[in-house]
Amino acid sequence: MRLLSALLLLQTLAFAQKPAGPLTGLNDQLVALSGQLHPAIVLIRSESFEPVSREVSLAVRQTGTGSGVILSEDGYIVTNAHVVGKSMTVEVLLAPPIGARSSPERSRLLEGRVLGRDTEADIALVKVDAHGLRFLEWGDSEALQQGQLVLAMGNPRGLENSVTMGIISSTQRQMKPDDRMVYIQTDAAINPGNSGGALVDLNGKLIGINTMILSQSGGNEGLGFAVPARIANPVVEQIRKDGKVTRGDIGVTAQTLTYGIAQGLGLKRESGVVIADVEPKSTGDIAGFQTGDIILSVDGRPMETARQFHVFIYRKPVASLINVEILRGEQTLKLQPIVVDQTEKSPNFGRLALSEENLVRRLRILGVPLDDSLLKEMPPLRKNYGILVAGLVPGALIQEEGLLPGDIIHALNGKPIATLQELKSFMAPIKSREEVVLQIEREGKTRFIEYRLE
């Protein structure tokens, strides 16, 4: 019995001393990688003065803290546009030496100049006067695979030199249908302060810039998002070269064609890209585009989604001529718009106090028909008729893409709408939860929305 006990003890000790093999190797690799990358991550503090409102000439100080990634030994640093805000200069705090228990800030603090920012990609470029800095190289974000291990590095809530590990949850995540931006989704812990930090692969390559989280608590819930390297890198290079980002535009808004939109508009195709809006006097308008045109190809490349179309136009040089093949009814046409520099527009809509008679129950909105007095108070519209969505009513059905206050409803299933009575009468024969296609105007552009009626 004693002999058996001794043998069991020896076996247990032998098992305990047996190396973990692959796990130990992975652990050592992560430790080494973290130490290698750590010096290239910085903390960024910004300060700017923002107006309280357009009506009040009073500004308040806004401060922010985030992260940044050194891209070159001479001090080019990438971060998020929302980290630097409108600041022209920021404080850049270099990482403390590895293993240092204490490191005076003043010995690591540098002034950074904001060279430029791009709010659409949420990328900014900062420059510090320094040399011999450790930096990261861009990786290939297009080669990422779902489930791949990654590290997120930054300064969450101002806590310097933090690293977390996770996997790629999605390689191309859009926040809403036809969104022009796509993100890398990861479950690596990302918290406020991580913005502008690095998402790296196990080769130490920079595959993304940590940008935002989706959270109900305000902290990490496993839904973190990073701007892919293939988007961030060209933005950085444009800012470094020109101080700004130029995107091609032809003045049309495209949507991915769905079965519901095709049925509502009486189209024969049920997939592809449909033109939802053509800006008056734009190069697209001059070239002959019309709302409802189906885009078949651009420069010989077939178009399957709206995002594919917009990104293709984005990357075209300003003043270049592109060849677009479209389908209009039964006719195939070839149009040649000129690419121009994209301009930002941000019109504002006021709120209206409405009565019970303005309730459109089946859409769960408070609507107001456009009239001369209302048109005078609004920015110029594409069509001077329709229903203004002045408010939303709680309890609406969950929609893929819903109505928003300020939207103008111009048509339902292709039928123009001028009054609330017309809108309600057109909906009357349609069954509950059946989908209709609304043509709306939002922020100066028209688009189609599939909407399930109450």
| Number of folded domains that form the chain | 3
Residues 150, 209 within the same domain: yes
Q: Which pLDDT value is given to residue 18?
A: 52
Assess contact for 389 and 405: CB atoms under 8 A.
Answer: yes
| Catalytic annotation present for 122 | yes
Burial of 422-445, coded b for 16+ CB within 10 Å and e otherwise, reads: bbeebbeeeeeeebbbbbbbbeeb
Sole residue written with tokens 């500004």: 59
d(CA 43, CA 67): 5
Question: Does residue 321 lie within any of the structural domains?
Answer: yes
pLDDT greater than 50 at residue 350:
no
Task: State the catalytic residue, choosing from 82, 170, 215, 285.
Answer: 82
| pLDDT tens-digit readout, 332-344 | 999 999 888 875 4
pLDDT category of residue 199 using cuts at 50, 70 and 90: very high
CATH number at residue 312: 2.30.42.10
| Catalytic annotation present for 5 | no
pLDDT category of residue 168 using cuts at 50, 70 and 90: very high
Strand pairing of 149-154 and 89-93? unpaired
CATH number at residue 177: 2.40.10.10
Residues 223, 154 within the same domain: yes
Question: Does residue 178 lie within any of the structural domains?
Answer: yes
| Catalytic annotation present for 195 | yes
Assess contact for 448 and 265: CB atoms under 8 A.
Answer: yes
The three-state secondary structure class of 196 is coil
Question: Does residue 63 lie within any of the structural domains?
Answer: no
Mean residue pLDDT of the chain comes to 83
pLDDT greater than 90 at residue 110:
yes
Cite the beta strand spans of 99-182 per DSSP E.
109-118, 123-128, 149-154, 162-173
Take residue 146 and report the two structure tokens written for it.
Answer: 């779902």
112-124 mean pLDDT = 93
Question: Does residue 98 lie within any of the structural domains?
Answer: no
Cite the beta strand spans of 148-219 per DSSP E.
149-154, 162-173, 183-186, 198-200, 206-213
154-159 mean pLDDT = 85
| pLDDT tens-digit readout, 30-75 | 888 988 999 999 999 987 655 544 444 344 556 778 999 999 999 9
Assess contact for 360 and 366: CB atoms under 8 A.
Answer: yes
Of the three residues 341, 371, 388, the one that is the final residue of a domain is: 341
d(CA 368, CA 365): 10
Output the pTM of the full model.
0.66
385-404 mean pLDDT = 70
Question: Does residue 131 lie within any of the structural domains?
Answer: no
pLDDT greater than 50 at residue 250:
yes
Q: Which pLDDT value is given to residue 106?
A: 64
| pLDDT tens-digit readout, 424-433 | 999 999 988 8
Q: Which pLDDT value is given to residue 273?
A: 94
More confident site: 372 or 158: 372
Question: Does residue 360 lie within any of the structural domains?
Answer: yes
pLDDT category of residue 16 using cuts at 50, 70 and 90: low
Domain hosting 413: range is: 356-452
Task: State the catalytic residue, choosing from 195, 201, 407, 410.
Answer: 195
Of the three residues 242, 269, 299, the one that is the final residue of a domain is: 242
Residues 145, 188 within the same domain: yes
Task: State the catalytic residue, choosing from 122, 187, 293, 407.
Answer: 122
DSSP type of residue 233:
H
Residues 253, 235 within the same domain: no
Of the three residues 227, 242, 257, the one that is the final residue of a domain is: 242
Strand pairing of 365-369 and 359-360? antiparallel
Residues 176, 262 within the same domain: no
pLDDT greater than 70 at residue 380:
yes
